[in-house]
Structure 1
Amino acid sequence: MTVWDRPEPPTRPVPLDRERIVAAAVALADEGGLEAVSVRKVAARLDAGPMRLYGYISTKQELFDLMMDEVQAEILLTEQPGDWREALGVLAHRTRQAALRHEWLADLLGSRPTLGPNGLAVTEATLAALDGLADVDTAMRAAETVSAYCTGAIRREVANLRAERATGQSEHDWQRASGPHVMRMLATGRFPALTKAVHDGADVDAEASFSTGLDWVLDAVAAGLTRPPA
């Protein structure tokens, strides 16, 4: 039985429900990451005893599942886009934006099946956009491919943001600091392709990089959807 199937306990003298518990947990995670979330800390924020919370959640992982589902409400489409490519693109960008607002989401993306109502609605919107374009197995692989790209790109971007805060260096600061070492290594002639990329490559921001990669993935998905069955 999942946490969504299990009924909440009766109301007690101190008002408490899963909605308040999840809101407190999300606030803690927004402030300090998943490591800042514990049953004890959530209970303290709600002025309740920790044992009270176990009537509503059985494990910390259940709390994470509820938190993720809460944030996935921010990803849901308010209206259905015109075609599958636009729909998957909008969902991908909304997922990235949600992860930038709640960086801890990057740690949970792809880690467990999303079984809550909002997570299932996001999955439904994804598969509905692909419905009728190919057989169900091809549509599933297409959805998984886009999801895998988004998860990887978002995790990398969030990791870079965390590194900047931890070191106090922006990406440009880090590049300047590491520049002499990199130039010495490139001067050896052992890395010709990397040398060309460093000297000739354009400086692209994270949003533009995400959008470009997503377009390439969607191009590949489009080719897969139109490929004749083997």
Structure 2
Amino acid sequence: MVSAVTVWERPEPPERPTPAPLSRELIIRAAIRLADADGLAAVSLRKVAGVLDVGPMRLYGYIATKEELLDLMVDDVYAGIRPTGDSWREVLLALAELTRRAAHRHEWFADLLGGRPQLGPNALARGEAVLTGLQGIDVDDVMPVVKAVNAYVVGAVRREITERRAERATGMNESEWQRTHGPYLERTFATGKYPALEKVIRDAVHWDVDETFRKGLDYLLDGVEASLSR
């Protein structure tokens, strides 16, 4: 069985004197600018070539497919996710917070989180940093713990990004949404069919998005700590 050669193993074409210089780094930067401005739908090899003022065929010496380009974009973002800490809990908190911040800077990153192979040099360095910080945990527990944190972060971040997009699309923030839909909920709760839901909505503290993320993460890590101490 012949293993595939990844884009990170494939050398770039030699430099040549042309009016418009080109490299994988320039291609990645252009693609990220497009995605930051208009989402992943705006990213194509043709559009990236247009940003760089080169013919689309020139890109194929550096990147074979759009899928490779997406892998490179994701790995570029991973360069900014290097969690550190003095304990496994601090490392996992840093992992979660850095990943969340990266997704808030690059909303398209949330769409690709968890759905692409993490084989690039930055992704591997991120993984090494995480696992180095978890050396006090039994080797059999390390991956389930990391996967649990990653699953929480992916779910929470995607929800946050979806809500941000909905707010932009409707022009309606949370307070305006509540004023618009509040009368409907009042009529619905008056039926007496949803007492538990009514109690939570009326009586519970409504944390902001940052507090909600951190509290959920603390609940998860408390559970991990309790499980590891058994």
Bin for the TM-score computed over the shorter chain: over 0.9
Matched, 1:129 2:130: no
| Aligned with residue 30 of structure 2, among 21, 24, 39 | 24
Q: Distance in 2 between matches of 1:18 and 1:45?
A: 14
Q: Secondary structure, in 3 states, of the residue corresponding to 1:104?
A: helix
Q: Deviation at 1:226?
A: 2.6
Name the amino acid aligned to 2:73.
M
Matched, 1:44 2:47: no
Q: Secondary structure, in 3 states, of the residue corresponding to 1:141?
A: helix
Q: Distance in 2 between matches of 1:53 and 1:223?
A: 51
Please tell me whether the aligned partners of residues 31 and 43 of structure 2 are also in contact (alpha carbons under 8 angstroms).
yes
Q: Distance in 2 between matches of 1:74 and 1:172?
A: 34
Over the residues paired in the alignment, what is the CA RMSD in angstroms?
A: 1.1
| Aligned with residue 95 of structure 2, among 91, 101, 111 | 91
Q: Which aligned pairs between 1:1-230 and structure 2 lie closer than 5 A?
A: 1-12=5-16, 13=18, 14-77=20-83, 80-134=84-138, 136-227=139-230
Q: Secondary structure, in 3 states, of the residue corresponding to 1:131?
A: coil
The superposition leaves residues 187-217 of structure 1 with CA deviations (integer Å, 9 ceiling, x where unpaired) of: 1111111000111021211111000001111
Please tell me whether the aligned partners of residues 85 and 91 of structure 2 are also in contact (alpha carbons under 8 angstroms).
yes
Identity score, percent: 56
Give unmatched runs, 5+ long, in structure 1. none
Please tell me whether the aligned partners of residues 76 and 118 of structure 1 are also in contact (alpha carbons under 8 angstroms).
no
Moved over 6 A (4+): none
Please report the TM-score for the alignment, with normalisation by the length of structure 1: 0.94
Name the amino acid aligned to 1:114.
Q
Residues paired across the two proteins, number: 224
Q: Deviation at 1:113?
A: 2.0
Please tell me whether the aligned partners of residues 22 and 63 of structure 1 are also in contact (alpha carbons under 8 angstroms).
yes
Q: Secondary structure, in 3 states, of the residue corresponding to 2:54?
A: coil
Q: Distance in 2 between matches of 1:42 and 1:36?
A: 9
Name the amino acid aligned to 2:98.
R
Please tell me whether the aligned partners of residues 30 and 104 of structure 1 are also in contact (alpha carbons under 8 angstroms).
yes
Please report the TM-score for the alignment, with normalisation by the length of structure 2: 0.94
